[in-house]
Structure 1
C-alpha cells in the first residue's frame, strides 16, 4: 500500500478530524471566555472525572467486537452489544462517584447526580461511536464525530442567549442533552449495521469463543488503561494538589496543544479500521510508511507553533491566560511524539496482539510515576508537561525495539529516505498536473 493510498484512505477522516478539532477549539475558547479561569477549572475538573470514568468503563468491548467481526467469527451480535452497553454505562457512573469522593473540591461534590449521570451517558455514547469503526469507510464515524461537536457548540449558543451569567452546570447540562441525541442517532444506525450477519466469502465462518473475545478486550483495554494513566496522570495529580484555577490553566494548555495531533488521530483510526483482523504484511508496510513520512514534518510544525505561541495564546484566550504558553509548547511536542508512537502501536492492535502494546505501556509508566513526587511546586505545569514528554518518548523507543526483538521485523525508519521524498514529490507533481489539466480542459 503506497503513502498515496494511505492518505486517500484516511483523507475523509482527516478532514472530519480537522473540522472536529476546529469546532472543539472554538468550544474551548467560548467556555474559557464565558466562565473565566475558575469556572473553566470547575468545568475541566468535572469533564476529567467524566472522561476518565467513561474511558475506564469501556473495557475494550467495542474493539473486540470489531476485531472478531472483521475476522469473520460468529457470535450473538445483538445480545453482546446490548449487554456490553449496559455494563459500560453502569460502571462509568460508579467510577464517577468514586472520583468525586477522591476529589477535594466541594463545588464539584455538590453536583454529584449531574456528574454521575453525565458519565453514564458519555460511556454509552462513546461505546456506540466506537462500534461504528467496523465500517471500513468510517463514513458514519465521521458523521457522529462532527455532529457531536456541532451539537455542543449549538448548545453553548443557546445557553449564551438564554442565561446570563453562565456557569459550568449549565454547560454540563447542555452537553448531556447533546449526548442523548447522539446516542439515539447511533442506535438507529446500529439497527441496520451492527446486527446484520457476517458476510465472509473467504472462509467458512467459525464461532467466536467468549473467552477469547474477553481476552482480546481486556488485553486491549489494559493498554487503554495504562494509556489513560500516562496521558492523564498530570491532570489528576494537579487536580489533587493544585488549585482549581491552576488546573483550569493547565487543562487549557493541554486541550489547545491537541490541535497539532489531528493528522495522527485520523491516520491511526483509519489504519486500525482498515486492517483489524486482516493481512499483517500489508499492515506492517503501511504502518512503516505512515510513521516515517509524518514524524519529521510534524516536529517541524510543532517548532513553528512554539515560535508563534506567545502571540497566539494571548490573542485567542486573552491576557489572563498568557502564563500557559511554556506548558503549551512542551505539550505540543509531546502530542507529536505520542501520536507517532501510537501509529507504530497499530501494528500490534490491528494484528490481534494488544498485549505487546500493554507491555510497552507498563514499562514506560514506571519512571514517570517514580519521578512524580520529586517535581518542584513552582511552575509545576511545565514540569508535568516535561514528564508527559518523557513518557511519550519512552513509549516510542520501546515500540521501535519490539519490532526486531519480538516480531523479528526490521526496526521502522524514523525519518524518510531520499527515495521516499522523491516519491512524495512525484506524487505531488502528478496531482498538480492533473488539476492544471482539468482547469485547462474546455467545458
Structure 2
C-alpha cells in the first residue's frame, strides 16, 4: 500500500524531480554564499567578515520571532482550500499583520542594537540599524511569497526567490571587489538591493496565481483570519523554537566572543551546510507535498526519504571532510584553518539535524506541530546550558559541540515520538529492505527515459 502510494505520488506530482530541483537550488545558494564569504574574507579580512555577518544576522533572527507561523499556516490552509477568493483573503490578512509588525520591530531594533553590539565598531552598529529596519519587511514578505508558491506546488517560483537574492548579491560583490569599491558600507547595500528586487518580482509573478482582482478591494474575511491564525499559533511555537535554535549560536558569539570569532564561524558554518543540501530540499518539499494524504502514505514517504538521505549523506561525509579542509585553506586563507575542527563538528551536526527535520515534517503534515515544539524546547534547553558551559572553555569548538549535542537530542526525541504518533514500531522508520530496490528502480526509470529521449 505504502509502496504503491509512493509510486503514484512520484509519477503524478514529480516528487523526485521537485526534490532534485530544490537540491540543485539549495546547493547553488550554498555555493553562492561561499563565494560571498570568499570575496568578503579576502577583501575585508576575518574581522570585516564578522562585522558584516552581524549586520545581516538581525533581520533573519527578528523576522523569525514575529512571523507568527503564518508562512506554514498559509501552506496548510491553501492546501485545504484553493479557491481564488479564499487565497486572496489569506494573503490580505497576512500583509495587514506584517506591515505594522515590521515597522514596530524595526524601530525597537534601531534603539536596541547599539546596546547589543557594544563590542562592534560605530560603522557596523549604524549599518546594522539601517539594514535591519529595511530588511525585516523584505524578509517577512519573501517568506510569505515563497510559502504561497509552495502551496500551489510552484516550486520553481519559490526556488527562484531563494536563488535570485544570493545570485545578484554575488554579482554585485564581484563587481565591487574588482573595481576596488568593496567595503562594509557597499557590501551591506549589495545585500539589501537584491532583496528588494526579489520581492517585487515575486509579487508580480504570484499576483496571477492569487486573483485578477486587487487585494485592497477585498473585504477582510473574519473566517480566513481565524483559520490562518489558529494554525499559525499552533506552529508559531515551533517556528520560534526553530529560530532560536538556528540563530542562538550567533547570539552566543555576539555576547561572549569577538567579531573575529564570528568571522571564522560564519565561514566554516556556511561551508558545513553543503552537507545539508539534499536533506533541506527534502524537508522543504515534503510538507506541502504530503499534507492532506493518509497517515500511512505520509509515514511511508517521510520514512523512505529519511533513510535514503541519511545513508547517502553519511557515505559522502568522510571524503568530503578532507576536501572541505583543503578548500578552507585555499579559498579563504590559512588564518581560517584554526577553525577546521569546528568545521568537522558542524558538518556532522548538519547531517544529523537535517535527518531529524525530515522526520519532523510528518508531524506538521498530520496537524500535530506541538510534537515538534516539544522536541525543540527540550533540545534548546540542553543547548543553552551547554553553550554557556562549553563556549567559555573551548571557544568555537565548544559552541559546535553544543550544537551537535542538540542535534542528537532532537533526532532521538523524534524517533521516540513517531511510534506513538503513527502507531507503528520504530523499526519501520529505521530500516526497510525495499529502499535499495526503490533506488534501483528510480535509476532504472531514469536510464529508460534518457534512452527514449536519445532515440
Whole-angstrom distance in 2 between the partners of 1:189 and 1:146? 15
1:388 Cα offset (Å): 0.4
Structure 1 portions without partners, runs of 5+? 198-205
Question: Shift of residue 116 of structure 1?
Answer: 2.4
TM-score by length of 2: 0.87
- Two-structure CA RMSD over aligned residues (Å): 2.5
Match of 1:202 in 2: none
Q: Aligned partners of 1:376, 1:389: CA distance in 2, in Å?
A: 13
- Is 1:71 aligned to 2:80, yes or no? yes
Which stretch shows the higher mean deviation, 254-263 or 139-148?
Answer: 139-148
Q: How far off its partner does 1:430 sit? A: 4.6
Per-residue displacement from partner, 1:276-329 (whole Å, max 9, x unpaired)? 344433222110110111112212222222233332210121112111111011
Q: Are 1:29 and 2:38 an aligned pair?
A: yes
Alignment map for 1:40-51 (pairs within 5 Å) = 40-51=49-60
Matched, 1:389 2:393: no
| Structure 2 unpaired stretches of 5+ | 214-220
Q: Which residue in 1 is equivalent to 2:268?
A: 253
Rounded to whole Å, the distance in 1 between the matches of 2:449 and 2:131 is 55
| SS of corresponding position for 1:110 | helix
Q: Which residue of 2 aligns with 1:90?
A: 103
CA contact (8 A) 2:55 2:131 kept: no
Please give the per-residue CA displacement for 1:339-371, whole angstroms capped at 9, x wherever unaligned.
110001110112222111111111222222222
> In 2 relative to 1, CA 47–386 (structure 1 residues): closer, same or farther, beyond 3 Å?
same
Query: Which shows bigger deviation, 226-235 or 342-351?
Result: 226-235
Decide whether the 8 Å contact of 1:260 with 1:302 is kept in 2: yes
Look up the match of 1:291.
Answer: 306
Output the CA distance in 1 between the equivalents of 2:131 and 2:163. 25
1:102 and 2:116 matched: yes
Query: Conserved in 2, the CA contact under 8 Å of 1:341 and 1:399?
Result: yes
Match of 1:175 in 2: 191
Instruction: Check whether the contact 1:261–1:339 (CA below 8 A) recurs between aligned residues.
Output: yes
2: CA distance between counterparts of 1:195 and 1:433? 40
Contact kept? 2:60, 2:136, Cα under 8 Å:
yes
Q: Which moved more, 1:353-362 or 1:420-429?
A: 420-429
Aligned pair partner of 1:52 in 61, 72, 81 = 61
Q: Post-superposition shift, 1:101?
A: 2.6
Q: Deviations over 1:31-56 (max 9, x none)?
A: 22121101000001112222201222
Q: How has the CA–CA distance of structure 1 residues 44 and 78 changed in structure 2, closer, same or farther, with 3 Å as cutoff?
A: closer
1:158 maps to 2:175: yes
Q: How far apart, CA to CA, are the structure 1 residues paired with 2:107 and 2:394?
A: 34
Deviation at 1:228, TM superposition (A): 1.9
Paired position in structure 1 for 2:216: none
Task: Please identify which structure carries the higher helix content.
Answer: 2
